[in-house]
Chains A and B, each alone.
Chain A
Amino acid sequence: MRLKPRFLTGQETARRSSSFFGALLCLFVLSLGCARAASAAQVVPMYGLSLMGGQYFFAGDKSRMNANVLANAAPAVKLDSGWTLLPMYTLYYKGTKSVTDAVGAGSLFQQQFDNRLAFAALYPLAGTDWKIKPSLSYKHELLKETRDEAWSKGLFDYQKFGLGFEAEKTYRDPFSVRLGYDFYYVRFPNFVSLESKSGVDPSGNPLGRETAGARVLDTFNHQFSAVWTCPIPSDSPRFSLQTSYSLIWQTFPDQPLVDAAGQYKSSKRQDFNQSLSAVLSHPRSFREDRLRMTGSFQLGLALNDSNQNTYDAGQTHYIGDAYSYHMLSAGPALALAWGEDMRKPQTASISLLWTRTQYAGRRVQDADGLYQDARQYQDRYIFSAGYAYPVAPHFNLTARFDLLRASSNMRYEKTYRYSYGAASYLVGFSYDY
């Protein structure tokens, strides 16, 4: 058996990521030092903490009660020079799955632990309405999905290194136009294709294809985005419209394309994901501003164009254009805030979101796995409701409920569920300053 350990080990990966993390931290500390040195530097601290507990229900089974914790700190530093530095640290532990999480393996068990450090800067360009915002970020997500996975050994742990630039023109406060470019690299340190390290069989013949990639999930991403918010009608606004467009060019440097015979080509996978969306909102106030209500409706269209195909070896079936799809979404939402003292309002929200994903090349399979002619689609309906009750300034008791119903024309569900129901609830408190 020939094993080819030509990739970073988990420890090496951890070392390298902590180096990057350390560098980012140094940058942060350095900037704080500079800020302090500047005579009129002003620090605006912002903190948040949310502690909730709840359960996840999937296809008739339920998970154990577990906690979700979200903590963030963002001490903004305003400098004399006009720059505002905005370091942000976020810690997130998720013990209760979300209904939108992947349902592969049907597992009810999942623990997620994220650490994210980001560093943004804001600079208003003198004499204009423009503001520029360069940013740098690092995120490390740890994920335990099975009993034998230890922290930092999770198969789907990933690291994300990002840098971005955004320009925003506030043409009429609070309405603005934002244009941005982001580059980010996503790396799954523990996910190396098995084929790339499969070695040889007992007779010394290779078990893997010659050009098999190793880090098949890692991606380089270029994202271009534009967001425009505007009042409607312009001179006497009653509605607010936010439209946004995004293009993500995603390259997979180590994922070769699959040909019709199930063999690898020399060229690599790349995806172009475009999305266009609009949200129309209508805020209202009642009872002498003791009840505020915002109704909204959103529409979205997303298109993913991928050059990758797959080959189902079990069925000896080639699936061309396997990752291309278009997705439509639509849904209303209602947010309410009320109270005699609007300094501490009670808030509630409900929303319903429908999405349909239609794949370009994936064919449906019957219950036994046999491929049919029809192309695969999936409908998802997500209902969400939230409530917050203020108990002290900045301090709320909160509750949240999510319900998802998914249905698809795909009938083969041996390895993945396409039609199912899932729900989750969370109750706890939040503190925001």
Chain B
Amino acid sequence: MPIYAEARRTVLFRSILSCCAFIFFAAQSDAATLLSSIDGQVFLRGPGAAAFSEAALRQVVPPGAEVKTAAGARAVITFEDGSKVEIGPKSSFVLEAADPSVSRMRLGMGWMKAVVTKMAHRRFSVRTPTAVCSVRGTEFDVRVGEDGRTSVDLFKGQLGVADDHGNEAVLREGQHVEVDSQGLGRVQGLGARGAEGGAADRERQALRREVGLQMTKEEVQSAAALEQKNAVYQQGKAMVDVNGNRVRIEEYILRPSADSYKFVVLNERSDRFDYFFRQGTFNKALPDDLSTALRQIPGCAGAPCDYWLTSYRTGYSNTQDSVVETASGGHLVDLNNNQVAGDEVTYAFDASRNDFTSISVPVSDTPGDNGSRNANTSFWRALYDTYSLAYNGVDHNAWTSGVGAYNVGLAGGANCSAAGVGFGCGGIQSMGHDVTGVGDQRTLVNTTVLQSLDTTGCDSLDNCTGYREDGKFHFIAYSQNAGGTVWDKYDTYVIDDNGKVASFSDFSGATGGRSYKDSLLKWNFQQIITASEFQGRKIDLVFEPKILIESGLIP
């Protein structure tokens, strides 16, 4: 969400509200004593007139005229010298005299505020039922209640206030007095009310406005900075891991050569840096749209893939320790018709649909003659002749291929090209890593294989394979050699962007199959790898499961 455009909206609105308080005093002055501003119903009765009539804007107010305002109405009278009188709602006002030497008026009821221009030889006075206010240049506020009680606030200058009993008080700036039928009350300070009128307070208000404008500007500029942060979040580049720690993530693709790509995931936390990469070399030059080739990596149903990997390298590292998986000699095989038992694919991820699809395999392959293909729907996938999975350079799982063409002297050879493409071709992975190499068409040399420890549950065990917490997607895969001296462990969490571990209920109870994988796409993987070679250190990575699914790392 673009924040700073929104911030501008908000602060703009805020600043205008403060401006509106002054709107009634904004009317321009004019050469005669006239109504310079009218808001609501305002009535005027001229001298000698019997009845009131609705006043018009800029109507001249002659001496002797009476002005009345209805509820909610206001009027501003501007005098020749620029002095102004604002008459509040439900007020009764009479202009008794207005000439160069005296301006005299009477407020019978209601409220008025006067801003009087200072003149040396002119008296300006306001009479109320109980008081007379006389000034030479000032700004004050008079309020008359229904009982005749008069309330006077002085914001600027000096003001003489007299009652009907001959008493008089001189108000100074920021003072207030009340007058009733008993006479003058005690002169008091205006307190906060001064903020509404006096020159000093107006100045303070003006300065406050400047402070407000600065703050407004600051808010807009800061919002631009926040927008950068928002973009990082939207691209999934910052999240919280299972331990509540901030993890930054960057994912991108390099193109090292015309026929290869390198997918990189970088993780940074406050105290560590981990990364994952998968570099693949294809059978031919890659198109501009890499997805065309990448979506064929997990395999192709029906027709043979156009693109397949001839080799790949996958790495996990914390910059000190590493897990590197390499494979080479990739060749395309129709797994569903190669007459190698147990390698049929009946369900596969279709990247073009971002979904999983079923594949019809009515006939099971059996070892034997590859002279003719089965009637199964083909599923083509690259298989590799050599493979290695090494921890800090130490193989935990590896095969080394034999020597020779794929089809030389082997059954079904006519259906396997010299490049290793055809339904008759075999391959190590087609046997599900069976160390015996049965059904494989090439010489197999096994170097190391760790056996996985499988237990019924890992609730109280760290070195086991299974779910660690009841009802949660926290899975441990643990492998070791016979003596337990060489081992590796994958501690895998399925988490949301706030580090919360997914429950089985989030996956509607599915822990495998299509439903599981569908749900998995909406979550993240956090994988913590430890091994006998790491000397207590770990590789701790957060990444998207889709990468692993597309790469075939999640079958």
Contact = CB atoms under 8 A, between A and B. Distances in A.
Contact of A146 (B17, B245, B291): B245
A314 interface: yes
A273 interface: yes
B71 to A, nearest CB: 7
Nearest to A148: B245
A105 B234 CA distance: 9
Given A3-B273, A300-B9, A368-B521, 8 more contacts: A100-B3, A106-B497, A120-B210, A236-B27, A236-B39, A283-B23, A289-B88, A327-B2
A380 interface: yes
Interface in B191-234: 191-193, 195-196, 203-204, 207-208, 210-211, 213-215, 217-218, 220-222, 224-226, 228-234
Interface stretch (A22-30, A31-39, A49-57, A257-265): A257-265
B27 A198 contact: no
Contact of A217 (B15, B38, B232): B232
B143 A288 contact: yes
B57 to A, nearest CB: 5
Interface in A204-223: 205-209, 217, 219, 221, 223
A290 to B, nearest CB: 9
A101 B17 CA distance: 24
B554 interface: no
B28 A240 contact: no
Interface string B266-310: 111110010101010000000011110010000000000000000
A314 B546 contact: yes
A199 B21 CA distance: 61
A260 B288 contact: yes
A431 B90 CA distance: 34
A46 B256 contact: no
Nearest to A415: B236
A194 B207 contact: no
B513 interface: no
B285 to A, nearest CB: 13
Given A229-B19, A316-B294, A262 B192 contact: no
A175 interface: yes
Given A106-B498, A316-B291, A327-B5, A238 B220 contact: no
B2 A415 contact: no
22 contacts: A44-B204, A86-B210, A104-B497, A120-B210, A120-B214, A133-B210, A174-B19, A174-B22, A207-B254, A229-B16, A242-B12, A275-B8, A281-B19, A288-B91, A313-B253, A315-B291, A316-B291, A342-B193, A342-B196, A344-B192, A351-B13, A380-B6
Interface in A165-214: 172-175, 178, 180, 182, 184, 186, 188, 191, 193-195, 197-199, 201-203, 205-209
A427 to B, nearest CB: 20
Interface in B19-35: 19-28
Interface stretch (B312-320, B396-404, B405-413): B312-320
A310 B234 CA distance: 12
A172 B4 contact: no
Interface of A: 1, 3, 44, 46, 72, 74, 76, 84, 86, 88, 90, 100-107, 116, 118, 120, 122, 133, 135, 137, 139, 141, 145-150, 153, 155-156, 158, 160, 162, 164, 172-175, 178, 180, 182, 184, 186, 188, 191, 193-195, 197-199, 201-203, 205-209, 217, 219, 221, 223, 229, 231, 235-240, 242, 244, 246, 248, 250, 260-263, 273, 275, 277, 279, 281-289, 292, 294, 296, 298, 300, 302, 304, 310-311, 313-317, 323, 325, 327, 329, 333, 335, 341-344, 351, 353, 355, 357, 366-370, 378, 380, 393-394, 406, 414-416
B77 interface: no
Nearest to A327: B5
Contacts of B210: 86, 120, 122, 133
B207 A44 contact: yes
Contact of A329 (B9, B192, B217, B255): B9
B277 A207 contact: yes
A118 B215 CA distance: 10
Given A313-B251, A335-B17, A393 B4 contact: no
A397 to B, nearest CB: 15
Contacts of B72: 284-286
Interface in B231-269: 231-236, 238-240, 243-246, 248, 250-256, 262-264, 266-269
A155 B247 CA distance: 10
Contacts of A342: 193, 196
B89 A286 contact: yes
B357 interface: no
Contacts of A287: 89
A186 B224 contact: yes
A84 B2 contact: no
A235 B29 CA distance: 10
Contact of B16 (A158, A195, A281): A281
Contacts of B221: 160, 162, 182, 184, 186, 221, 223
A343 B244 contact: no
Range for the number of chain B residues in contact with chain A: 35 or more
A201 B315 CA distance: 8
Most chain A CB neighbours (cut-off 10 Å) among B214, B220, B226, B269: B214
Contact of B270 (A149, A188, A263, A366): A149
B496 interface: yes
A285 B89 CA distance: 8
B355 interface: yes
A354 B232 CA distance: 24
Contacts of B195: 343
Contacts of B229: 102, 104, 156, 217
B142 to A, nearest CB: 12
A406 to B, nearest CB: 8
B3 A416 contact: no
B264 A198 contact: yes
The majority secondary structure among interface residues of chain B is: mixed
B192 A394 contact: yes
A53 B225 CA distance: 26
Contact of A261 (B15, B71, B190, B255): B255
B207 to A, nearest CB: 5
Given A116-B218, A207-B277, A296 B16 contact: yes
B244 A155 contact: no
A315 B217 CA distance: 39
A83 to B, nearest CB: 13
- For the complex of A and B, 8 pairs with smallest distance between CB atoms: A104-B233, A415-B236, A302-B5, A343-B193, A1-B319, A316-B291, A370-B354, A194-B266
A299 B256 CA distance: 51
Nearest to A210: B254
Contacts of A88: 211, 214
B388 interface: no
A17 to B, nearest CB: 15
A307 B26 CA distance: 46
A420 B268 CA distance: 28
Contacts of A310: 235
B123 interface: no
B125 to A, nearest CB: 22
A147 B17 contact: no
B250 A194 contact: yes
A154 B263 CA distance: 28
A263 B6 CA distance: 32
A107 B315 contact: no
Given A107-B498, A175-B26, A353 B10 contact: yes
A346 to B, nearest CB: 14
A240 to B, nearest CB: 5
Contacts of A148: 243-246, 269-270
B333 interface: no
A316 B498 contact: no
A261 B211 contact: no
A315 B2 CA distance: 24
Most chain B CB neighbours (cut-off 10 Å) among A150, A172, A248, A344: A248
Contact of A174 (B26, B88, B90, B207): B26
